[in-house]
C-alpha cells in the first residue's frame, strides 16, 4: 500500500468549522423524573395546577379568624372555643366561626372560616374535667388562650403561592438540577421531554491494542487500550452517551465493518489511531470510500493527523444489489483522533467536546477554566497551535502556578499528572516565567493537588503519601527533582544518595534504605558483589542517570576502581548492560524475573516484595527537601507532621 502524504494542514478554526457543520443532535426523548437529573429540557414546562393546591398551615398551632385576636397579648390573651382538629392529609370537617379555633398540623388544609393561624408556642389550652363511664376523670381542652395578635394570612401559604396554575415553571434548555426535579415533582410531572444525549460510538484501531483485563504480550509490542475508556469518560463528561465497540485492527475491511456498524447506531463516531499518513494507517481511505472526508490534518500540536468527515451507516452499499447503485440510507458525523493518548485527548478536549456539549445543550462549566502564572519559562515551536498539558499548584502565598507536564504524546502519565491544557498560539515561541495563562481543566471535577513533590522513586515515600490528602508526586529522579526544586515548581523534592552540590532548601525529614544487587531466587549464579559484574560474564540492568541509586552505584564503582588502580570507565565497560537504565525502582528487578538479566541494581525492600534474592552494597540516605518559601503551606505542614511521626 502506498504511503499518502498529508494534505495541506487546516487551521484550528477550519477544523472547528468542519465539526460544527456536522449534525450531532440525538433528537428528543421523554425520560421519567427519576432519570432526569442533569438532562436538558427541550420545551418550556408550564404549571398545570396551583402549588400548593390549597391554603395550608405553615406550622403546628391553631387556625382561627384574625379579628378575634386583635388586642391580645401575654397579659390579656384572647379566649377562643376549641371546636375541632385538622391533620395533614385529611379534608377538614369543621368550620371556624366567631370566637372559635381549630387545632391544626403543619401542612394541613386551612378549614373554612379561618383566615390565619397562630403557632402553638404562643398559646395555652384551658381544659374542663369530664367524668368517664369508668369513673376516671380526663382533662379535655375546651378553650385555647391566644397570647398574641395575628393578621389575616399570617403563617398560611395560600393556594398557588409557590407556583400558580398557568405560570412558566421551567424554560427550554434548562439543565435539570435536584431543585428543578423537586419543582417538577410538585407539579405532578411523571416524565419530561429532554434532548436525547448524542450517542457517540468509540472505536480504537490498531493490531497492538488489548482491552484491559486481557493479557498483553509485550514481546509483540502489545499495549492496553487507553483511548477507548479515556475518550468514553470525556464523552460522558460533555453530556454524550458513549458506546464502546470492539477494537478494529489495521485490516481495512474489518475497520470498515466496525465503523459502518457504529455509524448506523450513533450520531457521532470517534476513532483513535490509524489517522496518520503512514502505509498502515488506512482509516482515511475508509472514510473517503464510505463517506466524505472534510479534512485530514490540522495545524495543532499534538494532534496533527486529525480527520473530520461523514460516514455512511451499515445499510446497502453501492453495487450491493443488482441494477446499479443502492446507497446507504443515512450517515453519521465522524472525527478521527490520533492514536497516542495525549494527542487524542488534547484534540477531543479542544475540538470535539464543545460540539458534543452544544448538541446535548450542556454549557461548559465556569469552573472548567482557571488562570495562573507560569512557574517556569517554556519554549514552544512556532507554526502550529500547541495544546500544552499542564499541572496546577500554589506557591507559599496561595497564588496559582502552572507548570508543563509533557512526556510526549505516547506517555499516558502526561494525562494523569496534568490538570488541564494551555493553548499556545502558533506565532508564540515561548512563555515567560510569571506570565499569566488560562488553563482549560480536563474536567470541572479536577482538584489540583494540595501538595506537589518530585524526585526519587521510593516505596517508603509511597506509603507516606498514602496518609496525605490529595498529594501529587512525580518520580522524575533525584537530579531532575533538584533541578525543579531550584526552579521553584514543586513544594518538596525527595533525593537519594550523595549530592553533587549543596542545595538551598530546608530538610523536612530523612530515612535510610538498603541498596544493592537484586538477583534470582536462591542466587544460583552466586553473585557476591560488584566485582562479579566486572569479572564475570553476567548481564546487568541499571537505573537511569537521574536516579540516586545510579549515583551510589557509580561511587561504589569508583571505590572498586581505586582498589584496582583502574578508571571508572574501564570497569563500567566491563559490565554487560551498565548503560541500560530503567526509570522506576521495580523495573530492573522485573528484568531479572523475566530472565533477561542476571542482576539489577535495586532496594532490599523491592527484592523482598518480588520474592527475589538480595546482595547488599550498603545503606543510602533519603532526604526530603522543601522549598523554604512554602513551609507554611498546609500541605507541606501535613507532610512534615507525617515525617516527624
The predicted-structure confidence for 495-525, as pLDDT tens digits, reads as follows 999 887 777 899 999 999 999 999 999 999 9
Q: Please name the CATH architecture into which domain 28-52+161-195 falls.
A: Alpha-Beta Complex (3.90)
Identify the helix (H) or strand (E) that includes residue 32. Answer: strand 28-32
Find the angle CA(28)-CA(31)-CA(36) to the nearest 5 degrees: 110
Q: Residue 137: beta bridge partners?
A: 131
Dihedral through CA 550, CA 553, CA 557, CA 559, nearest 10?
130
Taking alpha carbons only, the member of 380, 398, 382 closest to residue 390 is: 380
Q: Model confidence over 613-631: pLDDT tens digits?
A: 999 999 999 999 999 999 9
**572: pLDDT strictly greater than 90:** yes
Longest Cα–Cα distance of the chain, Å, equals 120
Note whether 606 and 589 are within 8 A (CB): yes
Q: Given pLDDT bands bounded at 50, 70 and 90, which one contains residue 408?
A: low
Query: Quick one: which H or E segment has residue 233?
Result: helix 227-237
pLDDT in tens, 587-611: 999 999 999 999 999 999 999 999 9
In CATH, the architecture of 366-441 is Beta Barrel (2.40)
Report the candidate in 412, 413, 552 with the shortest Cα–Cα distance to residue 478: 552
247 or 262, higher pLDDT: 262
| Exposure on the CB side of residue 56, measured as CA atoms within 13 A | 20
Q: Which residues pair with 599 in a beta bridge?
A: 519, 540
Highest mean pLDDT among 120-129, 158-167, 263-272, 402-411: 263-272
pLDDT at 460 over 50: yes
Per DSSP, the three-state class of 378 is strand
Tell me the C-alpha distance between 116 and 104, whole Å.
11
* Count of CA atoms in the C-beta half-sphere (13 A) of 637: 4
CATH code of the region 12-25+198-360: 3.40.980.10
Closest CA to 114 of 61, 63, 68: 63
Q: Where are the domains of the chain?
A: 12-25+198-360, 28-52+161-195, 56-157, 366-441, 454-644
In what helix (H) or strand (E) does residue 345 lie, and over which residues does it extend? helix 341-347
585 conformational bin, left if phi > 0, alpha if psi -120 to 50, beta if neither: alpha
Distance CA 55, CA 104 (A): 12
Architecture of domain 454-644: 3-Layer(aba) Sandwich (3.40)
- Strands (DSSP E) found in 338-488: 369-374, 378-379, 385-394, 400-404, 420-424, 430-431, 436-441, 451-455, 471-474
* Range from 97-101, 329-333, 395-399, 460-464 carrying the lowest mean pLDDT: 329-333
Cα(422)–Cα(437) distance, rounded to whole angstroms?
Answer: 7
Question: What long-range pairs does 247-250 form, CB within 8 A, spacing at least 24?
Answer: 247/203, 247/204, 247/205, 247/206, 247/209, 247/211, 248/203, 248/204, 248/205, 249/205, 249/206, 249/207, 250/205, 250/206, 250/207, 250/274, 250/280, 250/281, 250/282
Which pLDDT belongs to residue 313? 72
Given pLDDT bands bounded at 50, 70 and 90, which one contains residue 227? confident
Place of cell 483513535: 272
Instruction: Round to whole Å and give the CA distance between 423 and 410.
Output: 19
Average pLDDT, the chain: 87
Query: In the prediction, which pLDDT does 314 show?
Result: 60
CB 585 within 8 A of CB 459: yes
The torsion angle over the Cα atoms of residues 57, 61, 65 and 68, rounded to 10 degrees, is -160
Q: What is the pLDDT of residue 455?
A: 94
In this prediction, residues 388-395 reach a mean pLDDT of 91
**More confidently predicted of 334 and 447:** 334
Are 202 and 245 within 8 A, CB to CB?
A: yes
Above pLDDT 90, what percent of the chain?
Answer: 55
Write the pLDDT tens digit of every residue in 353-367.
999 999 998 887 776
Which pLDDT belongs to residue 169? 86
Question: Residues 129-141: what's their mean pLDDT?
Answer: 47
Indicate whether this model's pTM tops 0.95. no
Instruction: Output the pLDDT for position 502.
Output: 75
Q: How confident is the model at residue 92 (pLDDT cuts 50, 70, 90)?
A: very high
Q: Is the pLDDT reported for residue 45 higher than 60?
A: yes
Q: Give dist(CA 101, CA 81) in Å, integer.
A: 6
DSSP β-bridge partners for residue 41: 194
Beta-carbon count within 10 A of 1 CB: 10
Q: What is the reported pLDDT for 317?
A: 39
Give the residue from 274, 270, 284 showing the smallest Cα distance to 334: 270
Of 3.50.50.60, 3.30.930.10, 3.40.720.10, 2.170.190.11, which CATH number belongs to 56-157?
Answer: 2.170.190.11
- pLDDT digits 0-9 by tens, 268-304: 999 987 655 554 467 778 888 888 889 888 998 888 8
Helices and strands (DSSP H and E) totals, the chain: 16, 36
Q: What is the pLDDT of residues 470-503, one digit of tens each?
A: 999 999 999 999 999 998 999 999 999 988 777 7
For residue 9, what pLDDT band results from cuts at 50, 70 and 90? confident
Query: Taking 90 as the threshold, does the pLDDT of residue 121 lie above it?
Result: yes
Q: Is the distance from CB of 269 to CB of 201 less than 8 angstroms?
A: yes
Amino acid at each position: 500500500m502506498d504511503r499518502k502524504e498529508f494534505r495541506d494542514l487546516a487551521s484550528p478554526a477550519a477544523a472547528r468549522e468542519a465539526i460544527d457543520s456536522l449534525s450531532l443532535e440525538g433528537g428528543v426523548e421523554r425520560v421519567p423524573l427519576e432519570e432526569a437529573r442533569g438532562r436538558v429540557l427541550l420545551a418550556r414546562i408550564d404549571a398545570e395546577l396551583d402549588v400548593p393546591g390549597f391554603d395550608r398551615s405553615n406550622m403546628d398551632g391553631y387556625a382561627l379568624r384574625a379579628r378575634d385576636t386583635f388586642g391580645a397579648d401575654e397579659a390579656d390573651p384572647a379566649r377562643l372555643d376549641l371546636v375541632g382538629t385538622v391533620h395533614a392529609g385529611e379534608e377538614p370537617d369543621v368550620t371556624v366561626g366567631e370566637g372559635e379555633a381549630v387545632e391544626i398540623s403543619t401542612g394541613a388544609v386551612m378549614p373554612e372560616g379561618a383566615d390565619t393561624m397562630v403557632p402553638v408556642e404562643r398559646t395555652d389550652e384551658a381544659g374542663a374535667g369530664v367524668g368517664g363511664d369508668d369513673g376516671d376523670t380526663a382533662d379535655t381542652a375546651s378553650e385555647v388562650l391566644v397570647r398574641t395578635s395575628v393578621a389575616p394570612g399570617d403563617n398560611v401559604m395560600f393556594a398557588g403561592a409557590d407556583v400558580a396554575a398557568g405560570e412558566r415553571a421551567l424554560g427550554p434548555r434548562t439543565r435539570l438540577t435536584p431543585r428543578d426535579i423537586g419543582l417538577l415533582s410538585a407539579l405532578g410531572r411523571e416524565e419530561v421531554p429532554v434532548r436525547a444525549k448524542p450517542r457517540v460510538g468509540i472505536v480504537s484501531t490498531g493490531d497492538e491494542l488489548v482491552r484491559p483485563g486481557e493479557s498483553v504480550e509485550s514481546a509483540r509490542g502489545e499495549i492496553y487500550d487507553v483511548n477507548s475508556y479515556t475518550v468514553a469518560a470525556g464523552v460522558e463528561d460533555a453530556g454524550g452517551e458513549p458506546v464502546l465497540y470492539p477494537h478494529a485492527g489495521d485490516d481495512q475491511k474489518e475497520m470498515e465493518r466496525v465503523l459502518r456498524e457504529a455509524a448506523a447506531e450513533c450520531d457521532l463516531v470517534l476513532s483513535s489511531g490509524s489517522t496518520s499518513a503512514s502505509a498502515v494507517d488506512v482509516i482515511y481511505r475508509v472514510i473517503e470510500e464510505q463517506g466524505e472526508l472534510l479534512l485530514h490534518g490540522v495545524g495543532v500540536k499534538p494532534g496533527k493527523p486529525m480527520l473530520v468527515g461523514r460516514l455512511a451507516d451499515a445499510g446497502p452499499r453501492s453495487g450491493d444489489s443488482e441494477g446499479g447503485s443502492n446507497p446507504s440510507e443515512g450517515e453519521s458525523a465522524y472525527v478521527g483522533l490520533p492514536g497516542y493518548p495525549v494527542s487524542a485527548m488534547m484534540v477531543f478536549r479542544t475540538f470535539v467536546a464543545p460540539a458534543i456539549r452544544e448538541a446535548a445543550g450542556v454549557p461548559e462549566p465556569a469552573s472548567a477554566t482557571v488562570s495562573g502564572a507560569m512557574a517556569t519559562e517554556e519554549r514552544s515551536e512556532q507554526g502550529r497551535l500547541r495544546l500544552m498539558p499542564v499541572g496546577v499548584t500554589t506557591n507559599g502565598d496561595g497564588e496559582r502556578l502552572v507548570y508543563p507536564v509533557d512526556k510526549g504524546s505516547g506517555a499516558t502519565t502526561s494525562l494523569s499528572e496534568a490538570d488541564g491544557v494551555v493553548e499556545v498560539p502558533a506565532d508564540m515561541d515561548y512563555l515567560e516565567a510569571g506570565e499569566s495563562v488560562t488553563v482549560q481543566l480536563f474536567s470541572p471535577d479536577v482538584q489540583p493537588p494540595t501538595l506537589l513533590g518530585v524526585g526519587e522513586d521510593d516505596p517508603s515515600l509511597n506509603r507516606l503519601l498514602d496518609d496525605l490528602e490529595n498529594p501529587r508526586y512525580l518520580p522524575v529522579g533525584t537530579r531532575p527533582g533538584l533541578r525543579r526544586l531550584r526552579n521553584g515548581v514543586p513544594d518538596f523534592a525527595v533525593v537519594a544518595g550523595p549530592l553533587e552540590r549543596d542545595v538551598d532548601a530546608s530538610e523536612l525529614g530523612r530515612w535510610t534504605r538498603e541498596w544493592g544487587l537484586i538477583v534470582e531466587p536462591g542466587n544460583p549464579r552466586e553473585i557476591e558483589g560488584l566485582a562479579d559484574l566486572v569479572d564475570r560474564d553476567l548481564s546487568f540492568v541499571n537505573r537511569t542517570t537521574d536516579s540516586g541509586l545510579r549515583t551510589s552505584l557509580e561511587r561504589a564503582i569508583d571505590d572498586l576502581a581505586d582498589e584496582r588502580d583502574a578508571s571508572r570507565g574501564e570497569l563500567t565497560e566491563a559490565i554487560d548492560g551498565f548503560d541500560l537504565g530503567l526509570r522506576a525502582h521495580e523495573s530492573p528487578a522485573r528484568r531479572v524475573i523475566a530472565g533477561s538479566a542476571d542482576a539489577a541494581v535495586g532496594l532490599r525492600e523491592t527484592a523482598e516484595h518480588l520474592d527475589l534474592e538480595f546482595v547488599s552494597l550498603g545503606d543510602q540516605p533519603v532526604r526530603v527537601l522543601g522549598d523554604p518559601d512554602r513551609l507554611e503551606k498546609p500541605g507541606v505542614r501535613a507532610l512534615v507532621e507525617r515525617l516527624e511521626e
